[in-house]
A and B are shown apart, each in its own frame.
Chain A
Amino acid sequence: MVPYALGAGQVAAGIKSREFSGEEYVCQLLERIEKVEPKINAFVTVSKEAIERARTIDKKIRDGEQAGPLAGVAVSIKDNICTKGIKTTCASRMLESYVPPYDATVVRRLLDAGAILIGKTNLDEFAMGSTTEFSRHGTTRNPWDISRVPGGSSGGSAASVAALECAASLGSDTGGSVRCPASFCSVVGMKPTYGLISRYGLVSYANSLEQVGPVGRTVSDVVSMLNVIAGADENDHTTADGRPAYSLQEGNGPRVGLVREFIEGADSAVAKIIHKAVDTLAGQGCKCEEVSLASVQYALASYYTIATAEASSNLARYDNVRYGFDMSPEGYEWNSYFAKARSNFGDEAKRRIIVGSYVLSSGYYGKYYLKAQQARSLLKRELKTLFKKYDVLIGPTMPILPFKIGEKIDDPLKMYLVDIDTVVANLAGMPAISVPAGFADGLPVGLQVMADEFREQTMLDAAYLFEQAAQVQRIPEL
């Protein structure tokens, strides 16, 4: 296999044993990016420093120095995660010139582990969307069918991994933004427990829901990334204590609950593959039962109330006096300048700011926001009860197959409804992972595996067990 198609662990081993150099590997990747980007559009920025960085890693290895567990591994980073000296635009005009003066903790940890930052990836503006169509940099296309969406909002991250433009990537997941594109692009994407990974340097959208999450072609690659980035950070006090280390093991036949509401709401082609996945797990000695998660019917209303409320607050900081595009303040009065400048937010961001302002309006707080938090509490309670009986809960990551670009763009509610299976983990603060489960009509379907808070090892065991038994990984033809 050519080096650019290798997983994170294989690349690090290959460079360390000097089977190939970091420079050769990165040059191959850059050629690959040049070849497939006109079709995929996964990247916002391709790093010019990647070759130089690879040479530094090669020299360290030649000199017998420690180069780190991810030495030479090329990773892409979603363009809402701060990278020192490299533009971080959030796919928005409001940050089109923003060059962060610091690295996010997750980026710093990857670099310290020897990783090479190959580029910044496309997303829906400020991570608001499920298709990567709401980007100032144009739509990212699905490597399995370029007329279809790659999912979102971390569509560039998942597409770049699927299209062999990097070994792994970092996305962010507020309501499924890592798992949705992972499912649509047939790669592995994980959202950790709230507090497992630092959010320092992640541009805020909905703080109580979002987490940075790794994307890779295999569970093994996701574990390699997770072990480097997870753990306490003094710059993010919502992180839990300690630096956990996860291993790759198949576990002993976990008790599996198939969430009835998830499967009932899925398209028949998706449901068929998920039922086959249940058979695969049962064949591996897992005890699988159907379970009900009744309060899931309120999950989307709760999620979109909380997410838009937090978004309207977070996006209030963009005044264009700092970071923004070139618009002189001369001749403007304070309010009219801001209103004019902020009209440059894209459609979906504006819509969410308005909905968020509505639900937080005087007299509506108790009707929407408070009830949404109560629904969140109820959902978490119900999940906790289920996790006393089951190690993991499973279902489809997305209820539908990847759809055509533009198909849902004029109907925001229809677009929101596809998030039904993923928002649950964010509301409950619990970990969830999407693993490729199969293909229907040539389009990918992902299996979502969810576990209780800080039970990542249990979740990864089940995901790895399924991955090894199902063997559905393929490479798209581009």
Chain B
Amino acid sequence: MMVTKEEVKHLGWLARIELSDAELDRYTSQVEEIIKYLNKLDTMPLEQIKPIIAKKKFADLRPDKSSDFEGDALGTKYRKDGFVKGPRMT
């Protein structure tokens, strides 16, 4: 087996997605089939080919400025003292 259930579980954890046992079973075989297909890339002699890279330079990007929007742009009711409330860190 190329892709194991443990790997899919670990990838789910890295991506912060809780997966049920049924999902793990289903995704393991499906992901394996997809990865097998992507391995097609191995059969191509690509050593001499340069990959496509973005033409825009980092310095060309627009300034990272904040925009003032009217109303509630955050869409959450969990707030305290003007801040958005998240889960505890530890």
Contact = CB atoms under 8 A, between A and B. Distances in A.
Contacts of A99: 75
B44 A334 contact: no
Contact of B33 (A345, A378, A413): A413
Nearest to A98: B75
A301 B31 contact: no
Contact of B17 (A235, A321, A342, A381): A342
A372 interface: yes
B68 to A, nearest CB: 9
A339 B52 contact: no
Interface in A302-353: 302, 304-305, 312, 316, 319, 321-324, 326, 328-329, 332-340, 342-343, 345, 350-351, 353
Interface SS of B by simple majority? loop
Contact of A358 (B31, B60, B69, B75): B31
Contacts of B53: 373
Nearest to A427: B52
A300 B70 contact: no
A79 to B, nearest CB: 15
Nearest to A299: B40
B17 A345 contact: yes
A342 B15 contact: yes
Interface stretch (A107-115, A170-178, A363-371): A363-371
B3 to A, nearest CB: 7
Nearest to B43: A298
Interface residues of A, number: 65
A298 B17 contact: no
Contact of B15 (A316, A321, A376): A316
Contact of B51 (A297, A319, A373): A373
Interface of B: 3, 7-8, 11-20, 23, 27, 30-31, 33-35, 37-42, 44, 46, 49-54, 56, 60-62, 67, 69-78, 84-90
18 contacts: A97-B75, A312-B15, A321-B76, A329-B78, A329-B86, A333-B87, A333-B89, A334-B90, A339-B12, A354-B15, A354-B17, A358-B3, A361-B11, A371-B41, A371-B42, A371-B46, A375-B44, A378-B49
